[in-house]
Amino acid sequence: MDNNKLEGVALKLFDINAVKFGEFMTKSGIETPVYFDLRVIVSYPRVMELITSLLCDIVATKVKKYDHICGVPYTALPIATLMSVQAKKPMLLRRKEAKAYGTKKMIEGHYNVGETCLIVEDVITSGSSVLETVKELNKEGLVVNNAVIILDREQGGRKNLETNNVNVDALFTMTELIGILEKHKKITKEMSMKVRNYLTEVKAPVTGSSEERMLLSYEKRAELTSNPVAKQLFNIMSIKKTNLCLSVDLTSSIKILELLEKVGEYICLVKTHVDIIEDFSLDFITRLKQLAQRFNFLILEDRKFADIGNTVLLQYQKGLYKISEWADCVTSHSLPGEGILKSLSTPCNGLENRGVFLLAEMSSEGNLISPEYREVTVNMASKYPNIITGFVCQNKDTFKDPGLIQLTPGVQLESAKDDLGQVYNSPDKVILDNGADIIVVGRGIIAAKSPEAQAVIYRDTLWKCYLKRVSGKLE
Ligand SMILES: O=c1ccn([C@@H]2O[C@H](COP(=O)(O)O)[C@@H](O)[C@H]2O)c(=O)[nH]1
């Protein structure tokens, strides 16, 4: 590759503010000393031309065979278009959302099953955006072996893609780009060191492992999930900056509503056991739903269904509680087999956005769930991606899919046990070591002198642990 041309592009990117240095906060609250915004390059035709020609050079020498070019939406689309024209290879267009009318195709353009497609992307961090595009192309029977990238942030993307059989070639790694800018005195030695230190501190997430799930932000995971309730929860957590689920194990509906008035703003999810409420009424449900809307949290009925499909269907939709009409999600055992998931996914008027947390483990001492049971549960869930929101579990290795949520009960500020077998772990332990995404706290808050003040303490402690986890700066 022409090194002068490459250095010229690096300097140009700096001049046009496509690369910035300082103290930046990502949307999910993680600090970074360097920020890339390659969206601006469309305003600089000469930069576009240079980048296209360098990427085409890489492809000509490194990629053996490809039939199509596809850019990852949106920043890479103009570059992919220019490359397609320069290399005289047909382009495919990946939609982000299917059209509401017509063909509903996600990939536009003419192609045949078994043909190969080269992917073009501007920046890779974890590589998940490229993988989303790979997934869509694979669904159409297209094969992806290669991706060309303008900048590799060296934060695990290359490894993730290679694990998924996609070979990566980049114009620059972050280290190379920093090196050029330092050499040409665009940035100081100190700034260059700061970025290098940041790179060594930030651990690389690996796709397909529980580590990747733990290192990805809730924001990013909202994009990766196929379950509408999980998406809503990831979004609520990102917006409200809370991963606290309050378990309102109280027997008076008035007390539950009073408590939620005080703590609603600190939680992303409320967990109920409606069958312990002594004065249950549908008016209580109406008021609960109003609070959920006002404070932007979802409702999980911890029903722990465990019967044959037909009975569960009746328990879910009928009886005194009519759970399916108000609970955004429910918990269920996998013990009876797949029938239970079939019944919970039975279409019912207006209930498209319902979710299920499947119990893969329990927090109580001496429970009978074995590692084999846990594994079969997770495999069973994979056949029902539309309704599975996540798992109630205690361990990070229970599942890998970053689109699913680990809901972990048995949490108090200090590790402890109650007299009836409940085992409590600390926030550090469950989030940093054990992979919890949403943390269920019951008596730790509701039995406190001031539940409101205690909810704030839990919200802040749990969120800090999450930020520490996604920053990758684990000891
Ligand atoms: O394995 C499990 C599954 C569910 N739970 C429920 O969570 C809350 C925990 O309440 P604490 O007062 O914080 O102990 C409770 O409603 C359980 O039914 C669980 O603890 N363990």
- For the chain, what is the mean pLDDT? 91
The CATH number covering residue 143 comes to: 3.40.50.2020
CA–CA distance, 351 with 327 (Å, rounded to integer): 10
Cβ proximity of 224 and 403 under 8 Å:
yes
Of 166, 201, 236, the domain-final residue:
201
CA–CA distance, 64 with 140 (Å, rounded to integer): 22
Give Cα 278 to chain centroid, integer Å. 38
Residue to probe by mutation, ligand 1, list 359, 395, 422, 425, most atoms within 8 Å of CB: 422
pLDDT digits (tens, 9 = 90+) for 306-321: 999 999 999 999 999 9
Of 169, 201, 233, the domain-final residue:
201
pLDDT digits (tens, 9 = 90+) for 73-129: 999 999 999 999 999 999 999 987 766 666 668 899 999 999 999 999 999 987 888
Atom index in ligand 1 nearest the CA of residue 412 equals 13
Residue to probe by mutation, ligand 1, list 363, 413, 417, 423, most atoms within 8 Å of CB: 363
Atom index in ligand 1 nearest the CA of residue 394 equals 1
On whether both 135 and 25 belong to a single domain, the answer is: yes
Q: Please tell me the predicted confidence (pLDDT) of residue 23.
A: 86
Q: Please tell me the predicted confidence (pLDDT) of residue 28.
A: 46
Higher-pLDDT residue of 287, 416: 287
Closest residue (by CA) to atom 17 of ligand 1?
Answer: 409
pLDDT digits (tens, 9 = 90+) for 188-243: 998 998 888 887 766 544 456 788 789 899 998 988 887 889 999 999 999 999 99
On whether both 19 and 167 belong to a single domain, the answer is: yes
Closest residue (by CA) to atom 4 of ligand 1?
Answer: 409
On whether both 33 and 101 belong to a single domain, the answer is: yes
* 249 assigned ligand-binding residue: yes
On whether both 114 and 226 belong to a single domain, the answer is: no
Atom index in ligand 1 nearest the CA of residue 424 equals 14
Q: Please tell me the predicted confidence (pLDDT) of residue 202.
A: 64
On whether both 85 and 151 belong to a single domain, the answer is: yes
Asked whether this complex has an ipTM greater than 0.95, the answer is yes
Count of structural domains within the chain: 2
Q: Please tell me the predicted confidence (pLDDT) of residue 204.
A: 46
CA–CA distance, 275 with 279 (Å, rounded to integer): 10
Q: Please tell me the predicted confidence (pLDDT) of residue 8.
A: 95
On whether both 134 and 182 belong to a single domain, the answer is: yes
Q: Which domain holds residue 364?
A: 210-471
Closest-CA residue to 135 (of 91, 166, 112, 156): 166
Q: Please tell me the predicted confidence (pLDDT) of residue 155.
A: 79
List pocket residues of ligand 1, CB cut-off 6 Å.
247, 249, 273, 302, 362-363, 392, 409-410, 422, 440-444
CA–CA distance, 387 with 49 (Å, rounded to integer): 46
Q: Please tell me the predicted confidence (pLDDT) of residue 29.
A: 53
On whether both 174 and 194 belong to a single domain, the answer is: yes
Higher-pLDDT residue of 284, 221: 284
CA of 423 to the centre of ligand 1 (A): 9
CA of 246 to the centre of ligand 1 (A): 10
Q: Please tell me the predicted confidence (pLDDT) of residue 38.
A: 94
Least confident range of 67-71, 100-104, 372-376: 100-104
CA of 464 to the centre of ligand 1 (A): 22
On whether both 197 and 218 belong to a single domain, the answer is: no
Least confident range of 94-103, 134-143, 386-395: 94-103
3-state secondary structure 109-129: CCCCCCCEEEEEEEEECCCHH
Of 201, 229, 257, the domain-final residue:
201
pLDDT digits (tens, 9 = 90+) for 432-462: 999 999 999 999 999 999 999 999 999 999 9
Q: Please tell me the predicted confidence (pLDDT) of residue 358.
A: 98
The CATH number covering residue 350 comes to: 3.20.20.70
Residues forming the active site: 302, 304, 307
CA of 442 to the centre of ligand 1 (A): 7
On whether both 251 and 291 belong to a single domain, the answer is: yes
On whether both 293 and 393 belong to a single domain, the answer is: yes
3-state secondary structure the chain: CCHHHHHHHHHHHHHCCCEEEEEEECCCCCEEEEEECHHHHHHCHHHHHHHHHHHHHHHHHHCCCCCEEEECCCCCHHHHHHHHHHHCCCEEEECCCCCCCCCCCCEECCCCCCCEEEEEEEEECCCHHHHHHHHHHHHCCCEEEEEEEEEECCCCHHHHHHHCCCEEEEEEEHHHHHHHHHHCCCCCHHHHHHHHHHHHHCCCCCCCCHHHHHHCCHHHHHHHCCCHHHHHHHHHHHHHCCCEEEECCCCCHHHHHHHHHHHHHHCCEEEECHHHCCCCCHHHHHHHHHHHHHHCCEEEEEEEECCCHHHHHHHHHCCCCCHHHCCCEEEECCCCCCHHHHHHCCCCCCCCCCEEEEECCCCECCCCCCHHHHHHHHHHHCCCCCCEEEEECCCHHHCCCCCCEEEECCECCCCEECCCCEEEECHHHHHHHCCCCEEEECHHHHCCCCHHHHHHHHHHHHHHHHHHHHCCCCC
On whether both 245 and 111 belong to a single domain, the answer is: no
Residue 47 has pLDDT above 70, yes or no: yes
On whether both 444 and 355 belong to a single domain, the answer is: yes
